[in-house]
Structure 1
Amino acid sequence: MATRQTPPFRTVVDSRVESVHTVRAGAADGGRVRLTAYDLLTGPWYTPLTFFYRKTLDGPALRASLARTLLRYPPLSGRLRRDADGGLSVLCNDAGVRFTEASCPDPMREYGHGLRAQPVNGDLLREVSPFGVVDRDAPLLKVRLTQMRGGGSVLGVLISHSLADGGSTLAFLENWSREHLGLPWQEPSHDRGALEALGRMSDDPATREGRVFAGVGRMRYLLSTLRPGLRRRATVTTRFEAAELAAMKSEALGALTDPGAWVSTNDVLAAHLWRVLSELRGHPDEAAQWLGLVVGAQSVLGGALPSSYWGNCVSKSWTSLPAGELRARPLGAVAGEVRRCLRSNTEDKLRDEIAFLGAYRRRGVSRHVMAVHALDMRETSLSVNNWSRFPLYRIDLGAGQPFWYEFPDLPVPTVHVTPTPEEDGGRDVYLCLSEPHAALARTGPWQERLHPHAVSSRVG
Structure 2
Amino acid sequence: MIEIKSEIVSRQTIKPSTPTPPHLKTFKLSLLDQISPDIHGNMTFFYPSDSTTHSISNDPYFFEKSKLLQDSISKTLSLFYPLGGRLLDAATVDCNDEGAFFVEAKVNIPLSHFLNQPDFILMDHFLPTTDPTTMELSNGAMFLVRFTSFTCGGVAISLSLTHKVADVSALLTLLQCWSSVCRGLSDPITPDLIGEKFLAPRDELSAMSVSVNVAVEKFGQRRFVFSASKIAELKAKVDKEFQNVLQSHPSRVEVVLALLWKCAVATKKKKTGSFGPTALFQAINLRKRLSPLPETAVGNFIWPFMVLAYEEKDLELHELVIQMRKSLNEFNNTKANMFTGEGAPLAIMGAIKERGEFFRNNKEMTVYKCSSWCKFPLYDTDFGWGKPIWHVSVNKLVSNTIALADTRSRDGIEAHLTLDEEEMALFEQNEELLKYATLNPSIYA
TM-score normalised to structure 1 length: 0.79
- Taking the TM superposition and a 5 Å limit, the aligned residue runs for 1:11-30 are 13-25=4-16, 26-30=18-22
Paired AA for residue 191 in structure 1: I
Distance in 2, Cα, partners of 1:128 & 1:449: 43
Q: Secondary structure at the match of 2:222?
A: strand
Instruction: Please state how far the C-alpha of 1:176 moved relative to its aligned partner.
Output: 1.1
Distance in 2, Cα, partners of 1:357 & 1:421: 39
Paired AA for residue 296 in structure 2: S
Contact 1:54 1:152 in 2 (8 A): yes
C-alpha distance 286-420 of structure 1, shift in aligned 2 (>3 A): closer
2:57 aligns to what? none
Distance in 2, Cα, partners of 1:357 & 1:70: 31
Contact 1:284 1:323 in 2 (8 A): no
Paired AA for residue 289 in structure 1: T
C-alpha distance 111-421 of structure 1, shift in aligned 2 (>3 A): farther
Give the count of matched residue pairs: 413
Q: Please, which of 66, 71, 80 is the counterpart of residue 78 of structure 2?
A: 71
Matched, 1:99 2:105: no
1:109 aligns to what? 112
Q: Please, which of 127, 146, 158 is the counterpart of residue 121 of structure 1?
A: 127
**1:106-151 Cα deviation digits (max 9, x unpaired):** 322343483223242245274898xx99xx9421101111112231
Greater shift after overlay, 29-38 or 426-435? 29-38
Paired AA for residue 278 in structure 2: Q
Matched, 1:432 2:418: yes
Q: Point out where structure 1 has 5 or more consecutive residues left out of the alignment.
A: 1-6, 200-214
Q: Secondary structure at the match of 2:157?
A: strand
C-alpha distance 112-290 of structure 1, shift in aligned 2 (>3 A): farther
2:52 aligns to what? none
Q: Please, which of 426, 433, 441 is the counterpart of residue 450 of structure 1?
A: 433
Matched, 1:169 2:157: no
Paired AA for residue 160 in structure 2: L
Matched, 1:289 2:314: no
Contact 1:317 1:341 in 2 (8 A): yes
Distance in 2, Cα, partners of 1:39 & 1:274: 28
1:178 aligns to what? 180
Contact 1:41 1:370 in 2 (8 A): no
Paired AA for residue 97 in structure 1: A
**1:291-319 Cα deviation digits (max 9, x unpaired):** 11111111111x22233211111100112
Distance in 2, Cα, partners of 1:373 & 1:145: 44
Q: Secondary structure at the match of 1:267?
A: helix
C-alpha distance 123-189 of structure 1, shift in aligned 2 (>3 A): closer
- Taking the TM superposition and a 5 Å limit, the aligned residue runs for 1:37-436 are 37-55=31-49, 58-82=65-89, 87-112=90-115, 114-116=117-119, 117-119=122-124, 120-122=126-128, 124=130, 126=132, 137-183=139-185, 184-196=187-199, 225=211, 227-256=213-242, 257-258=244-245, 260-282=247-269, 287-301=276-290, 303-327=291-315, 329=316, 331-346=317-332, 348-352=334-338, 358-359=345-346, 380-409=366-395, 410-423=397-410, 425-436=411-422
From the two aligned structures, give the one with the greater helix fraction.
2
Q: Secondary structure at the match of 2:11?
A: strand
Q: Secondary structure at the match of 1:304?
A: coil
2:58 aligns to what? none
Query: What is the percentage of aligned positions where both structures have the same residue?
Result: 21
Instruction: Please state how far the C-alpha of 1:261 moved relative to its aligned partner.
Output: 3.9
C-alpha distance 147-373 of structure 1, shift in aligned 2 (>3 A): farther
Paired AA for residue 324 in structure 1: E
Distance in 2, Cα, partners of 1:374 & 1:274: 19
Contact 2:145 2:159 in 1 (8 A): yes
Paired AA for residue 141 in structure 1: F
Instruction: Please state how far the C-alpha of 1:235 moved relative to its aligned partner.
Output: 0.7
Paired AA for residue 332 in structure 2: T
Distance in 2, Cα, partners of 1:369 & 1:357: 15
TM-score normalised to structure 2 length: 0.82
Contact 2:399 2:419 in 1 (8 A): yes
Distance in 1, Cα, partners of 2:344 & 2:11: 39
- What is the root-mean-square deviation in Å for CA atoms of aligned residues? 3.6
C-alpha distance 357-137 of structure 1, shift in aligned 2 (>3 A): farther
Paired AA for residue 426 in structure 2: L
1:212 aligns to what? none
Distance in 2, Cα, partners of 1:226 & 1:312: 16
Contact 2:11 2:134 in 1 (8 A): no
Distance in 2, Cα, partners of 1:249 & 1:102: 44
Distance in 2, Cα, partners of 1:12 & 1:373: 46
Distance in 2, Cα, partners of 1:138 & 1:102: 21
